[in-house]
A and B are shown apart, each in its own frame.
Chain A
Amino acid sequence: MTTATTGRAALKGVVGTPHTRVEGRDKVTGAARYAGEIPFADLAHGWLVLSTVARGRIRAIDTEPVLALPGVLAVLHHGNAPRVDTDYIGLLGMPPDPTAAVFQQDRVHHVGWPVALVVAETPEQAREAAEALVVAYDEEPHDTALTTGHPGAHPAGGVMPGETAKGDLEAGLAASAVVVDEEYTTPEEHHSMMEPHAATARWDGGRLEVVDSNQGTTWIQGELASMFSLDASAVRVRSEHIGGGFGSKGLRAHQVAAVMAATELQRPVRVVMTRRQMFSLAGYRSPTLQRVRLGADADGRLLALEHRSLNQTSTVHEFVEPSAGVARVMYDADAHHTANEVAPLDVPSPTFMRAPGEAPGSFAIESALDELAERAGIDPIALRLRNEPEVGPVSGLPFSSRNLDACFREGARRFGWAERDPRPGRRREGRWLLGTGTAAASFHAGAGPSTAVVTAQADGGFTVRIAAADIGTGARTALTLVAADALEVAPDRVRVRIGDSDFGPAMIAGGSMGTRSWAWAIRLAARELRERLALGTTIPPEGITVRSDTTEALGTLAQKERHSFGAQFAEVAVDTATGEVRVRRMLGIFAAGRIVNPLTARNQLVGGMVWGISMALHEEAVRDRTSGALYAPDLAGYHVATNADVGDIQADWVEDPDPDDPVGIKGVGEIGIVGAAAAVANAVWHATGVRHRSLPIRPDRVLSASVPAAGGDPHA
């Protein structure tokens, strides 16, 4: 037994100082085990079989020949799989996507719809049998093409109201000295995290255990408990290391199929998605068709603003990509109209993907602002600062803090913006045309209810238990620093354990809210524990444990517009011979709350900007209208930025502690991508004098746009 010795006086806080990842050694030596890598005795392997048609009915599944193949244990399909319940609302306030509730119906709703799971002794046997399984379909005509004015399109809410409107738009536009009215499009984009979705399910003494790769263990615990009509305490979900998530790692077909198979066979079953299966089962960002109309007076003050966005969803689940939401935070006008619309098609369900809404929405509105600046003859930064709203343009609520101005000023200084000749097509270097562009960024700052458990051990160490998820964000390390400061001890005395639903309800790693939500809960418990220890309490062998729950504290937060902000700058070189666009350098300056760990936070912000480059120049999943399937759905057909695509990228920040957060955190997971693609596109205009309103800015689009007149696509 020891008495706590935490030495209040000598310790300076560690929050705000750089720390390498606490699990770093495990990651660089290969010792860190991800979901598909945890050994289980008597493990069987499941392989999903997906539909080859876009719409129709399963007529027959010929299981007999497959069951006779070596090692095959079972074939699960709609005719024999256990029934599950989908009539519930999950942690995110949404019903489950029926794509994850596998084998419940004979209908097929898109190419890649899960129709069967083959389970065998080895992965090779499972794969062979899955590929040999013959499924017959009654095919029906399908529609997979998102078009402007699609008959199925309708306004839709989701995480925010579908439509907002104030003032007379047409009158505002008519009264404007400068008007922009353009359409912008973004393609279907896929998360493509490096670790494929993987889950192993087993029954352990009447309790269901699932080892998974997900963005919230208590979230998945709740979904599986609801779906299989189990008490939440009868389900344990673990997810220690996660090889990237970006919004895709929620409840998906693989976990549900694994649980069904483990139940049927009464032995552990692992289901891992193949890279190609991920392109139809793991969610994606819907393509968007957006229209922006801006009207301003001669000084660039906005009089009218309209932003409408249409996205596709599946016929079984409505997901809204709320791209028109950006203007509700960023820009005001007397006439201000925004609308998110959705059209159901025979395609897989889209989902949250890094900065849902903000990423494609900021491409449209920040491109339109640049066009307005060009037409009004005003510097793009001056135009934005001239339109800084006092309060939320739609809500009328005050901002908790809004340091966009500081981001632009610091960014402009460091980027050398003042030396820029605003005229396009003026800088040439051999066959390269050079240009620079900028854009603003914003992302919602929030927190979700979480619980944490902090224990003071008799050996002088502290253990924090929280069902947090580190999907690469550095959350585990950030939380260690927050706990150390709250306990007033050095970080090496604190061990943070995460990724286990047994640790109690907690926020997911999503919406840039994870670290803030978890830090709040940890700090609450740690401060109380610290106070108890300050009384000179002797720590018994079992330690002293304090639990916290932030539900009440979060409930008392005043209604405000709470956001991170940022200013993005890009310099591009455009090859006039090949149409290739290279991003030579990029700078992002962010006002994103208190930065807990500068080393990992900078990496996060830069990573978001790399996503912006990738979105601007490379990413595009193309769907064949005839088959309804994607062309080449893999990492050779779907391009994400490689090392050689990424030049000198820098991210930094201005002081911006959140006034209402105990640590001052806002969140840094998503703001880095917002506005990044627009900054690149605006730089391409500056280099070439051609506007690219459709992403990605492919070489063929650059080349065809530079061919004068003769069949050129003005929106290339």
Chain B
Amino acid sequence: MAPVPSSTSSAVTLNINGEKHQLTVDHRTTLLDALRERLDLTGTKKGCDQGQCGACTVLVDGRRAVSCLNLAVAAEGREITTIEGMAEGDRLHPVQQAFLDLDGYQCGYCTPGQICSAIAVIEEHAAGWPSAATEDVRPEAGPPPLTPDEIRERMSGNLCRCGAYVSIVQAVTRAAEAHEAAARDDDRADRHENTEETAA
């Protein structure tokens, strides 16, 4: 039964996967429960409800966040991306495809969180963010190679009790390589364009 606005609930507009949702939520409702119980977006999973397992990971303004530790009322005005927003129509996101092809899961319950996390890890790494596994953390050192140890460290906020870590690391590696290759192509295309402009 949906609450009506009162001293204990408020009307909010949530921007999820590019779509605006208007709803009235109990102030105690977490972003996770709003997604699962109110918006029928059950791809985001509840593993512990206290920020310890990573199963509820979503992207908030492009950065990973555990939705169980965010209140729905505080998510207004943010761009929220859940697992349901990762594929483009029938075309899976490269990270989703890599998890599927390389069996980067077993029971699948941690998988949406792992995939959201992995998508952000690849972006964080490309942006030059270091991790505890990074040898040289000076800004001028640039992004470290995305080695298995780097991926293991960066993905350790997402528990997988089935123990599919080995294939998760393989999947993230494959997706990151594809991402880098695509970035190089874009870069080359840009440079090509610039050269043409100069020539003109």
> Which of A461-480 touch B at CB < 8 Å?
471-474
Among B40, B49, B87, B165, which residue has its beta carbon within 8 angstroms of that of A646?
A: B165
> Which of A18-55 touch B at CB < 8 Å?
20-21, 23-34, 36-37, 39
Q: Kindly provide the distance from the CB of A272 to the nearest chain B CB, expressed in whole angstroms.
A: 8
Query: Which stretch, A220-228, A239-247, A300-308, touches the partner chain B?
Result: A239-247
Q: Kindly provide the distance from the CB of B5 to the nearest chain A CB, expressed in whole angstroms.
A: 15
Chain B residues contacting A471 (CB-CB under 8 Å) are 107
B36 within 8 A of A: yes
In angstroms, Cα B82 to Cα A71, docked, is 30
B161 within 8 A of A: yes
- Indicate if the CB atoms of A646 and B166 lie closer than 8 Å: yes
- Indicate if the CB atoms of A610 and B163 lie closer than 8 Å: yes
- Indicate if the CB atoms of A635 and B52 lie closer than 8 Å: yes
Chain B residues contacting A600 (CB-CB under 8 Å) are 103, 106
Asked whether A634 and B50 contact (CB < 8 A) given A29-B43, A603-B103, the answer is yes
In angstroms, Cα B115 to Cα A32, docked, is 15
Give the residue name and chain of the A residue nearest to B172 (CB). A643
A641 within 8 A of B: yes
- Indicate if the CB atoms of A640 and B161 lie closer than 8 Å: yes
The interface bits of chain B over 35-62 (1 if a CB of A lies within 8 angstroms of the residue's CB, else 0) are 0110011111111111011010000000
A511 within 8 A of B: no
The interface bits of chain B over 84-120 (1 if a CB of A lies within 8 angstroms of the residue's CB, else 0) are 1011000010001101110101111111100100000
Q: Kindly provide the distance from the CB of B93 to the nearest chain A CB, expressed in whole angstroms.
A: 9
- Indicate if the CB atoms of B161 and A21 lie closer than 8 Å: no
Query: Which stretch, B26-34, B136-144, B190-198, touches the partner chain A?
Result: B26-34
Asked whether A27 and B152 contact (CB < 8 A) given A20-B103, A71-B1, A474-B106, the answer is no
Chain B residues contacting A195 (CB-CB under 8 Å) are 45, 47, 107, 109
Q: Kindly provide the distance from the CB of A623 to the nearest chain B CB, expressed in whole angstroms.
A: 20
Asked whether A243 and B156 contact (CB < 8 A) given A29-B83, A603-B167, A610-B165, the answer is no
Chain A residues contacting B99 (CB-CB under 8 Å) are 28
B122 within 8 A of A: no
B3 within 8 A of A: yes
Give the residue name and chain of the B residue nearest to A637 (CB). B52
How many residues of B are in contact with the other chain, CB < 8 A? 62
- A-B pairs with beta carbons under 8 Å apart, 6 shown: A27-B100, A28-B100, A193-B107, A194-B161, A275-B52, A643-B156
Q: Tell me the B residues contacting A by CB distance below 8 Å.
A: 1, 3, 26, 28-29, 33, 36-37, 40-50, 52-53, 55, 82-84, 86-87, 92, 96-97, 99-101, 103, 105-112, 115, 133, 148, 151-153, 155-156, 158-169
Asked whether A472 and B1 contact (CB < 8 A) given A25-B100, A644-B152, the answer is no
In angstroms, Cα B106 to Cα A25, docked, is 13
In angstroms, Cα B110 to Cα A640, docked, is 14
The interface bits of chain A over 232-264 (1 if a CB of B lies within 8 angstroms of the residue's CB, else 0) are 000000000111101000000000000000000
- Indicate if the CB atoms of A31 and B43 lie closer than 8 Å: yes
Chain B residues contacting A242 (CB-CB under 8 Å) are 107
- Indicate if the CB atoms of B48 and A275 lie closer than 8 Å: yes
- Indicate if the CB atoms of A634 and B84 lie closer than 8 Å: no
In angstroms, Cα B106 to Cα A604, docked, is 8
A599 within 8 A of B: yes
- Indicate if the CB atoms of A606 and B166 lie closer than 8 Å: yes
Chain B residues contacting A274 (CB-CB under 8 Å) are 49
- Indicate if the CB atoms of A37 and B108 lie closer than 8 Å: no
Extra 6 A-B pairs, beta carbons < 8 Å, given A33-B42, A124-B33, A644-B152: A34-B45, A194-B110, A243-B110, A606-B167, A635-B48, A643-B160
Chain A residues contacting B167 (CB-CB under 8 Å) are 603, 606
- Indicate if the CB atoms of B166 and A649 lie closer than 8 Å: yes
In angstroms, Cα B47 to Cα A72, docked, is 25
In angstroms, Cα B165 to Cα A534, docked, is 45
